[in-house]
Amino acid sequence: MIALASDHGGFALKEKVKAHLLARGFSVEDFGTHSTESCDYPDTGGKAARAVATAQCERGIVICTTGIGISITANKVRGVRCALCTDPVMAEMTRRHNDANMLALGAGITGELTALAIVETWLDTEFEGGRHQRRVDKIMALEQE
């Protein structure tokens, strides 16, 4: 199950990503928003991040106009490693090296075709483990401070 959320600025792209995920056979939990009416990204992004952190959803994708605010929001939830990606190489590397369990996109920054390519790469790339696991463990230990 993929958690999906956006604010009003990311709504249109969220709907495109959602259709793409469903076409690929993924189950999706849509935490909103459900229109272009102004809303606050911490509300929807926080719900999606909590769903990933509690294993209600395996991974999550969050979208706002730049991707910055909603990625900061997601990363405030213990257990989340959300990466803002603007190209498929970043998506590949954040999965391979950081085991990112959430992806953030900026609807005003990244076009639809690039965004869908980022999503594809992020979903299809596995975590390498090894020396990278040690580093991810160190990142996650910072939550205990």
pLDDT in 10s for each residue of the chain, 145 residues: 999 999 999 999 999 999 999 999 999 999 999 999 999 999 999 999 999 999 999 999 999 999 999 999 999 999 999 999 999 999 999 999 999 999 999 999 999 999 999 999 999 999 999 999 999 999 999 998 8
Q: Distance between CA atoms of 32 and 7, rounded to whole angstroms?
A: 7
pTM of the predicted structure, to 2 decimals: 0.96
Which domain does 64 fall in, by range? Answer: 2-144
The CATH number for 101's domain is: 3.40.1400.10
- Cα 96 from Cα 10, distance rounded (Å): 26
Per the structure, the count of domains in the chain is 1
Which residues have a catalytic role annotated?
64, 97
